[in-house]
Amino acid sequence: MKPKIWLSSPHMGGNEQKYINEAFEKNWIAPLGPNVSGFEEDIKKYLQNDDIHNFEVAALSSGTAALHLALILLGVERGDEVICQSMTFAASANPIAYLGATPIFIDSELDTLNLSPEYMEEAIKDRIKKGKKPKAIIAVHLYGMPYKIDEIHKIAGEYDIPVIEDSAEALGSSYKGQKCGTFGEINILSFNGNKIITTSGGGALVTQNAALKKRAVFLATQARDEAAHYQHSEIGYNYRMSNICAGIGRGQMEVLDQRVEQRRNMNKFYNRLLGNFKGLTVHNEPDNDYFCNHWLSVISFNSNSEKLSREGLRMHMEQENIESRPLWKPMDMQPVFSDAPYYGERTAETLFENGLCLPSGSNLTEEEIERISESIQKYFK
Ligand SMILES: *Cc1c(COP(=O)(O)O)cnc(C)c1O
């Protein structure tokens, strides 16, 4: 058996070890230290542009923790409702449940595979009619593709509902020249092992509101009141990033733009290989306003037949030890969320049935890319 080709695997830049060694030398083996503040500064510098440079970044233990804190900061409580993109990784929706709130799931549209502005507005109107205005909107840039930012934020603004931008998959993407992770009231990033850059596990909360960042860090470090003895007036969490993980992050930030370039090259490769094929779609940016990091390259079959199908291709590649993966199973189809309200026309369900993520790592070798190419060509022959 040939060695495994992974969908997306960690890809170190080289300087990560240097930052970790510094932490060891100075005995900063803790959830605070110079790498944590350095990493936060690196992210801030990366996200800012000439017009907006007042970003506040809190490095945390995971993207999920960042989402949990974002919801708390926006005042989400038991019994509240939160709008959430249905087709996403479960981590986008789980923190709503942590708080005893109810997710209101929204279908995707076909241009970006993300939150449908039409169904989102329909949901907001209907929930208000039923007596409850949603407390927040969780919008996701799936596979790095920016959601319809202008439309979504216009509607959110009209109803005065804050947006949490789940940018876990979209570090390095941008919309009209502004980086993803900077559009929402609160934005979150993930540095899990399979993301475009990794700290082995980690996340960040990004906001332009200094008071919110301060409060996020307070809650993330057990909500200790200012007193020499340990005193608490609120429930806290242990959600800060460790100085070791942040050291990996600092090394990774040095190569982020290269990683974006490499992932985008993988997407170009799939466009060359499959772009002219009538039976399927290679998903690309709808127009030049969008710049996608192509964290994962996505194709979808226009229909599933016995001869050609998403599962057929997936299993064919698996036999050759090449990993591929169906799109995220929409949350409204998940047993755990079966009671949650849903607005849409099941576009995401069809995408889930027909769509496949192909190996997209920035560290794939030419030989591996050749194996992928041969395997896919064999399937379609
Ligand atoms: C990875 C991911 C998260 C969660 O991030 P973790 O750091 O793994 O907790 C949230 N949302 C989306 C869309 C993700 O892909």
**Whose alpha carbon is nearest atom 14 of ligand 1?**
168
Kindly state if the Cβ of 19 falls inside 6 Å of ligand 1: no
79 Cα: distance to centroid of ligand 1 (angstroms): 24
- The predicted structure's pLDDT at residue 50: 83
DSSP 8-class letter at 142: G
Kindly state if the Cβ of 187 falls inside 6 Å of ligand 1: no
Question: Helix 243-253 to helix 34-47 angle, to the nearest 10 degrees?
Answer: 30
Query: Residue 381's beta-bridge partner residues?
Result: none
* CA gap 112, 304 in Å, rounded: 21
- The phi, psi pair for 58, rounded to 5°, reads -115, 115
DSSP 8-class letter at 369: H
Q: Which atom of ligand 1 is nearest to the CA of 195?
A: 1
* CA gap 87, 105 in Å, rounded: 9
**C-alpha atoms less than 13 angstroms from C-alpha of 148 in its C-beta half-sphere:** 20
306 Cα: distance to centroid of ligand 1 (angstroms): 34
Compute CA distances 360 → 26, 73, 91, 103, 267, whole Å. 37, 35, 21, 31, 8
Kindly state if the Cβ of 62 falls inside 6 Å of ligand 1: yes
- The predicted structure's pLDDT at residue 233: 93
Q: Do 170 and 146 form a contact (C-beta atoms < 8 A)?
A: yes
Kindly state if the Cβ of 165 falls inside 6 Å of ligand 1: no
DSSP 8-class letter at 333: G
For the chain, 381 residues long, give each residue's pLDDT as a single digit of tens: 899 999 999 999 999 999 999 999 999 998 889 999 999 999 999 999 888 888 999 999 999 999 999 999 999 999 999 999 999 999 999 999 999 999 999 999 999 999 999 999 999 999 999 999 999 999 999 999 999 999 999 999 999 999 999 999 999 999 999 999 999 999 999 999 999 999 999 999 999 999 999 999 999 999 999 888 999 999 999 999 999 999 999 999 999 999 999 999 999 999 999 999 888 999 999 999 999 999 999 999 998 787 889 999 999 999 999 999 999 999 999 999 999 999 999 999 999 999 999 999 999 999 999 999 999 999 998
* CA gap 273, 288 in Å, rounded: 22
- The predicted structure's pLDDT at residue 148: 98
Q: Do 142 and 355 form a contact (C-beta atoms < 8 A)?
A: no
- The predicted structure's pLDDT at residue 1: 85
* CA gap 183, 152 in Å, rounded: 11
β-pair type (163-166, 186-190):
parallel
* CA gap 133, 80 in Å, rounded: 8
pTM: 0.97
Which residue type does 195 have?
A: K
- The predicted structure's pLDDT at residue 306: 77
300 Cα: distance to centroid of ligand 1 (angstroms): 22
64 Cα: distance to centroid of ligand 1 (angstroms): 6
Q: Which atom of ligand 1 is nearest to the CA of 191?
A: 7
Q: What are the percentages of helix, strand and coil residues in the chain, rounded to 5?
A: 40, 15, 45
**DSSP letters along 222-275, please?**
TT--SSSS---SS---B-BPPHHHHHHHHHHHTTHHHHHHHHHHHHHHHHHHHT
367 Cα: distance to centroid of ligand 1 (angstroms): 30
Helix ranges restricted to H, the chain: 16-25, 34-47, 63-73, 94-98, 117-129, 149-158, 210-220, 243-253, 256-274, 310-319, 347-354, 366-380
Residues composing the chain: 381
Q: Which atom of ligand 1 is nearest to the CA of 65?
A: 9
Structure tokens at 33: 């230290």
Kindly state if the Cβ of 63 falls inside 6 Å of ligand 1: yes
* CA gap 378, 376 in Å, rounded: 5
358 Cα: distance to centroid of ligand 1 (angstroms): 19
Residues 6+ apart with CB under 8 A from 348: 86, 87, 107, 108, 113, 330, 332
- The phi, psi pair for 44, rounded to 5°, reads -55, -50
Kindly state if the Cβ of 91 falls inside 6 Å of ligand 1: yes
* Domains of the chain with CATH codes: 16-254 (3.40.640.10), 257-380 (3.90.1150.10)
Which residue type does 364 have?
A: L
Q: Which atom of ligand 1 is nearest to the CA of 203?
A: 7
